[in-house]
Structure 1
Amino acid sequence: MQLWVDLADTEGLKIGASVAVNGTCLTVVNISEQGVQFDLIQETLSLTNLGTIKEGDLVNIERAAKVGDEIGGHLVSGHIHSTAKIIELLPTENNLAIHLALDKAWRDYVIYKGFVCVDGASLTVGKLSEQGFWLHIIPETLRVTTLGDKQLGDFVNIEIDSATQTAIDTIKNLAVSGDLKRWLS
């Protein structure tokens, strides 16, 4: 599948460059008056919400960081692990709480006050639930992302924190092998 995106700024963008679209790291394959083209393979379509994008939909875009750029948030790779379904939206005067249902296989990697990347926005987990987790979105994040436009039932891309995944997988592997008790002593 091909995805064409109308980017406001293509300065310095070259074929072969990486651009995150809804948090998914994609490779630029064409740049023209029509926009920027990306090829989506089956693996990408099966793990992300990119196959549901229709012409005219807004997406979150992030260009790759350059050496020397300020890193003002959490480090993410653009390698999506799963999608999560929006099951509750609680708007307040200036904020939005979003409740996401996440596949059980990924819930161990989402920890209270840890972070997840949701459609390309790296966010702090506000609360855990039986189904997944809650996010509390501030006005600036609502202003610069598409999260404020989401509806009940929408799916968002999820990238979990790789350091959390590594720590939890290490502990699980030690527990299974029987080495956890020895390792902790």
Structure 2
Amino acid sequence: MYTGIVQGAFPLCGLVDEPGLRRLAVDLPESLQDELSIGASIALNGVCMTVTRIDGPTVHFDAMQETLSLTTLGQLKMGDSVNVERSAKQGAEIGGHLISGHIDGRARVCEVQRSENNVSLYFQLPEALCKYVFHKGFIGLHGCSLTVASMDKERGIFSVCLIPETLRSTNLSALEVGSEVNIEVDRQTQVIVDTVERVLAEQGVNRE
């Protein structure tokens, strides 16, 4: 599990494509290597990844074909920055909201509004996920816990507002129209929506 508070954005320093597999490597600072071991979980752009090798500051990961198909990890190029968060420890402060690192899909940037001190990003959601996104609800974008600023259910477009600190510490500042991000809907919201739908469906069947 993760808190959605990204601990930094770091450039991809290793990238090897093999049949059905992509090997990724990132140099991490000492602050993120404390007690890090092979098998540990680290989120890269919101995707829960397993550490496969550690060479000094360089940490290696393997992404399978299913992960590459569902997320943006297959689009990465050498030097691209990825958002990094170590998995949450027992008793850690939850500054954002709980994120599993299991991506639900990708959303495409359809508009960027920049002002002096913040940026508003608008995204086109996959139709199947629209029912889980609500105004003032939580959503994970590239591993960042964010509040939904607006949601147009008819068009399937939602927005978030980014403060200077988020722009400084994550890779969201580099997004432009056409960029894709990994999205994870709020699990509590998903459970509530699915449960209500199931109950209503059952009631409908019982009334027939």
Describe the superposition over 1:79-101 as per-residue Cα deviations: whole angstroms up to 9, x where unpaired: 11001000100001100000000
Query: Stretches of 4+ moved more than 2 A in 1?
Result: 179-182
Kindly provide the amino acid, as one letter, of the partner of residue 24 in structure 2. Answer: L
The aligned counterpart of 1:74 is 97
The aligned counterpart of 2:19 is none
- Once residues 49 and 149 of structure 1 are traced to their aligned partners in structure 2, the CA distance between those partners, rounded to angstroms, is 14
The structure where strand makes up a greater share of residues is: 2
The aligned counterpart of 2:52 is 29
Deviation, structure 1 residue 179: 5.9
SS of 2:36's equivalent in the other structure is coil
Pick the aligned partner of 2:144 from 104, 108, 121. Answer: 121
Pick the aligned partner of 1:131 from 153, 156, 166. Answer: 156
Mapping of 1:89-128 within 5 angstroms? 89-128=112-151
TM-score w.r.t. the length of structure 2 is 0.83
Quote the RMSD (CA, aligned, Å). 1.6
Contact kept in structure 2, 1:87 and 1:153, CA below 8 Å: yes
Contact kept in structure 2, 1:174 and 1:180, CA below 8 Å: no
The aligned counterpart of 1:141 is 166
**Structure 1 gaps, min length 5:** none
Equivalent residue pairs, number = 182
Pick the aligned partner of 1:39 from 62, 76, 88. Answer: 62
The aligned counterpart of 1:165 is 190
What percentage of residue pairs aligned between the two structures are identical? 47
Contact kept in structure 2, 1:4 and 1:34, CA below 8 Å: no
Which stretch shifts more, 32-41 or 122-131? 32-41
The aligned counterpart of 1:7 is 28
- Once residues 110 and 27 of structure 1 are traced to their aligned partners in structure 2, the CA distance between those partners, rounded to angstroms, is 28
Which stretch shifts more, 134-143 or 94-103? 134-143
SS of 1:77's equivalent in the other structure is coil
The aligned counterpart of 2:177 is 152
**Structure 2 gaps, min length 5:** 1-21
Pair 157,180 (structure 1): closer, same or farther in 2 beyond 3 Å: farther
SS of 1:59's equivalent in the other structure is strand
- Once residues 206 and 122 of structure 2 are traced to their aligned partners in structure 1, the CA distance between those partners, rounded to angstroms, is 36
Pair 175,47 (structure 1): closer, same or farther in 2 beyond 3 Å: same
TM-score w.r.t. the length of structure 1 is 0.93
Pair 109,181 (structure 1): closer, same or farther in 2 beyond 3 Å: farther
